[in-house]
Amino acid sequence: MITVRVPLGDRSYDVLVGNGARSELAALLPRTARRAAVVTQAGVPLDVDPGLPFERFEIGEGEQHKSLTTIESLSRGFARMGLTRNDVVIGVGGGMVTDVAGFAAASWHRGVAVVHVSTTLVGMIDAAIGGKTGVNLAEGKNLVGAYWQPSGVICDLDALSTLPPRELRCGRGEMAKYHFLTGDDLLAMGEAERIARCVQIKADVVASDEREGGRRALLNYGHTLAHALEIETGYAMAHGEAVGIGLVYAAHLAHQLGRISDDRVQQHYDVVGGAYELNTALPDGLSAQRMVELMSRDKKVLDGGLTFVLDGPNGVEVVADVPADAALAALASMR
């Protein structure tokens, strides 16, 4: 078992990575908890035993259920079971489940403890860690939410053996992002070490910038176009798949702005499409103008201008006020 500490003062917590890690769940729960609300989905492969009385709440599958309607339904369920501020919510599932469970916990009685048991690669290396919770609106992804740190996170590697190949590819999209943020050869590591290293990278960033005032925004590398692609395809394109394309698009945009060379753009193709075996091409039939419109609604946007995380001579950084013409030209160059 590998333990990674997320250092946030009196709100610090541990992330446990290893096979069978879910057996440690009870040790991560708050001592005040007398009951638990377990938020999960029907297809989640792991059962958990929190070691105290609990009720199970299943949310729907698919991004259309990552909504305020689902938060209301969970909250009413919490009320019926008598969940108090001293109890705990446990999110068991992928990134959608932990986002929803975390936001429900942040909202219930203005904040009740939450512990995440992540069952997907995307969740283990990204979504379950760092305290960003939220749901979607028709106007955009993750536009309503809260920063609410968990009391602990479990990454049980047993769950990975149950995932279909596409779900594992989705995790590689987030992993490729860490490659460009650090230069680490993650694929050279063993599975547990690779996941723990990704957790450590995110923990370090979160500790330095919990509420995305600066450095934490770098974790959105590749995500600006990715979120637009998810919305425009009706979430038929999975998050990690979209991030892979978004990383390549960010390279084209950085090149369009004179920030990186042709060789560096090619490195993005080599890593994303080669080493991590992800698709790097835009789907057919997309409107470039529509993509720019969706990207203008991204959470990073400042004062109405397009804002991206882009590679450059000083590494990956936030770049504001990107001209719409450059964003369109980068899309055109990918075709």
Is position 55 annotated as part of the catalytic site?
no
Check if the beta carbon of residue 206 is closer than 8 Å to that of residue 129.
yes
Annotated catalytic residue: which of 66, 172, 202, 252? 202
The angle, 0 to 180 degrees and rounded to 10, between the axes of the packed helices 288-295 and 223-232 is 120
Is position 110 annotated as part of the catalytic site?
yes
Annotated catalytic residue: which of 63, 142, 194, 212? 212
Q: According to DSSP H, which parts of 82-187 are helical? A: 95-107, 121-122, 165-182
Residues 6+ apart with CB under 8 A from 331: 249, 252, 282, 288, 291, 292
Helix H or strand E segment including 99 = helix 95-107
Is position 290 annotated as part of the catalytic site?
no
Annotated catalytic residue: which of 22, 66, 132, 252? 132
Is position 202 annotated as part of the catalytic site?
yes
Annotated catalytic residue: which of 172, 223, 255, 268? 223
Is position 61 annotated as part of the catalytic site?
no
Annotated catalytic residue: which of 197, 239, 255, 299? 239
Is position 66 annotated as part of the catalytic site?
no
Q: Is 88 helix (H, G, I), strand (E, B) or coil?
A: strand
Check if the beta carbon of residue 326 is closer than 8 Å to that of residue 252.
no
Annotated catalytic residue: which of 227, 252, 255, 268? 227
Burial 290-313 (b: 16+ CB within 10 A, else e): ebbebbbebbbeeeeebbbbbbee
Is position 300 annotated as part of the catalytic site?
no
Among candidate residues 128, 74, 139, 71, the one with its CA nearest the CA of residue 96: 128
Is position 255 annotated as part of the catalytic site?
no
Among candidate residues 23, 45, 172, 154, the one with its CA nearest the CA of residue 98: 154
Annotated catalytic residue: which of 174, 210, 232, 241? 174
Is position 141 annotated as part of the catalytic site?
no
CA distance 136 to 154: 25
Annotated catalytic residue: which of 31, 110, 314, 335? 110
Q: Is 321 helix (H, G, I), strand (E, B) or coil?
A: strand
Taking the CA atoms of residue 194, residue 266, residue 318 and residue 224 in that order, the dihedral angle to the nearest 10 degrees is: -80
Is position 216 annotated as part of the catalytic site?
yes
CA distance 247 to 239: 12
Give me the active site residues, please: 110, 132, 174, 202, 212, 216, 220, 223, 227, 239
